[in-house]
Amino acid sequence: MKEKSISLLALRQRNTRRVAALFLAPVAILLTVFVFYPIVDTFITSGYQWNGISADKKFIGFGNWSKLIADKSFWIAFKNNLIIMVLSICIQIPIGLALATFLDFGGKKLTIFKVLWFIPLLMSSVAIGFLFTYALATNGGLVSTIAGWFGGGNIDLLGNPKTALLTVILVICWQFTPFYMVYFMAAFTNIPFDVFEAARIDGATRGQYFWRIALPLLVPSMKSAAILSMVGSLKYFDLIYVMTGGGPGTSTELMATYMYKQSFKTFNMGYGSTVAGGMFLLITMVSLITMKLLNGKKEA
């Protein structure tokens, strides 16, 4: 009797596993074909000198990797990624939070602001890239025109290596600030209304409520917003590729644009794979370190 019941349990478990395998199969196949295999393949290709098409494929071991480590352009690109990362976090999150606070305090009357502020997020990065390429054009662009009103001359923001990166970062912030606004609005609604009521009854002004009560409660949300912004900044590609293509010179080059140009413009796929691999490793490393730092602080 006992034996039978055990086998029944085993049977049920086997059945569960079988159904689970069946349900997980499509996702497993897709991820293997389009994510896991390509990652492995990229690292293998990084050992070759190869244009990706011809049969002329030469194994050079770690040759590409030592080239990458000595490659100034790649490290400039990485540095640019880090600049974008830091400035994005420093600009988007405070502005996003300020906008969300304004909407939270103002209530329903201010919906019109919310709607208009949200619109940049509806546009694709590519379209934004094009729009701003024209809006920032030296001749007849938006900024040049406005500078003209104040007696200034034409301004070439994107063509000047000194201002190009900052300009692109401001465009990125223009695009993504609404995202953080909505994000923080959701965080505000998660603060129970009682907390606000209690603070007001105790005589706190709105300002005091914000700085002493709401802000500390929002710290976890700010941390995850920072992580989101960080991972996004390191992967950044579309908008910059459209606006500057990494130029002028290497002033707005990113890891992703550098990888793309190496692989699909100069057809240096062996080295392009190495850049992609390096990018993957750096992103994983930076993500792990940041998450550790942020989570470590949470416990302290």
Partner 1 sequence: MDNYKKNKRKSIVAWIIAFIFAIFWMIVSIMPFIFMVLNSFKEKFEMLVKGVFQLPDALNWTNYTEVLTGGFTTYFMNSVIVLAISLILLLFFASCASYPLARFNFKLAQPIYALIVACMSIPVHITLIPVFRMAKSTGLYDSIWALIGPYIAFAIPISVFILTSFMKEIPREIEESAEIDGCGKIQMFFSMIMPLAKPGLATLAIYNGVNMWNEFSFAYTLTQSSANRTLPLAIWEFQGQYSMNTPMIMAVLTLTLLPMIILFIIFQDKLVKGMTAGAVKG
Question: Taking CB under 8 A as the criterion, which residues in 248-287 touch partner 1?
Answer: 255-256, 259-260, 263-264, 269, 272-273, 276-277, 279-280, 283-284, 287
Residue 90 has which token pair? Answer: 């420093």
State which of residues 145, 154, 160, 163 lies at the interface with partner 1 (CB under 8 A): 145
Q: Which of 211, 32, 5, 10 is nearest to 105 (CA)?
A: 211
State which of residues 7, 11, 37, 200 lies at the interface with partner 1 (CB under 8 A): 37
Looking at the Cβ atoms of 66 and 284, the one nearer to partner 1 is 284
What residues numbered 10-29 form the site for partner 1, per CB under 8 A?
13, 15-17, 19-20, 22-24, 26-27
Left if phi > 0, otherwise alpha if psi is -120 to 50, otherwise beta: which for 61? Answer: left
Q: Which of 278, 251, 238, 294 is nearest to 79 (CA)?
A: 251
Minimum CB separation of residue 156 from partner 1 in Å reads 16
Minimum CB separation of residue 88 from partner 1 in Å reads 15
State which of residues 48, 74, 78, 179 lies at the interface with partner 1 (CB under 8 A): 179
Burial 169-199 (b: 16+ CB within 10 A, else e): bbbbbbbbbbbbbbbbbebbeeeeeeebeeb
Q: Are 138 and 128 in contact (CB under 8 A)?
A: no
DSSP state of 32: I
Q: Interacting stretch for partner 1, rule CB under 8 A, among 2-10, 39-47, 85-93, 193-201?
A: 39-47
Determine the straight-line distance between the first and last CA of the chain, rounded to whole angstroms.
55
**Largest distance between two CA atoms of the chain:** 97
Burial 99-112 (b: 16+ CB within 10 A, else e): bbbebbeeeeeeee
Helix 72-106 / helix 269-299 crossing angle, nearest 10 deg: 40
Looking at the Cβ atoms of 74 and 179, the one nearer to partner 1 is 179
Q: Does 295 bind partner 1 (CB under 8 A)?
A: no
Q: Does 245 bind partner 1 (CB under 8 A)?
A: no
Minimum CB separation of residue 222 from partner 1 in Å reads 12
State which of residues 8, 9, 10, 33 lies at the interface with partner 1 (CB under 8 A): 33
d(CA 122, CA 115): 11
Looking at the Cβ atoms of 17 and 161, the one nearer to partner 1 is 17
Minimum CB separation of residue 131 from partner 1 in Å reads 6
d(CA 246, CA 70): 20
Q: Which of 231, 235, 209 is nearest to 294 (CA)?
A: 231
Q: Does 243 bind partner 1 (CB under 8 A)?
A: no
What residues numbered 56-115 form the site for partner 1, per CB under 8 A?
95, 98-99, 102, 110, 113, 115
What residues numbered 183-202 form the site for partner 1, per CB under 8 A?
183, 186
What residues numbered 112-141 form the site for partner 1, per CB under 8 A?
113, 115-127, 130-132, 134-135, 137, 139-141
Minimum CB separation of residue 144 from partner 1 in Å reads 9
Minimum CB separation of residue 61 from partner 1 in Å reads 19
Looking at the Cβ atoms of 21 and 69, the one nearer to partner 1 is 21
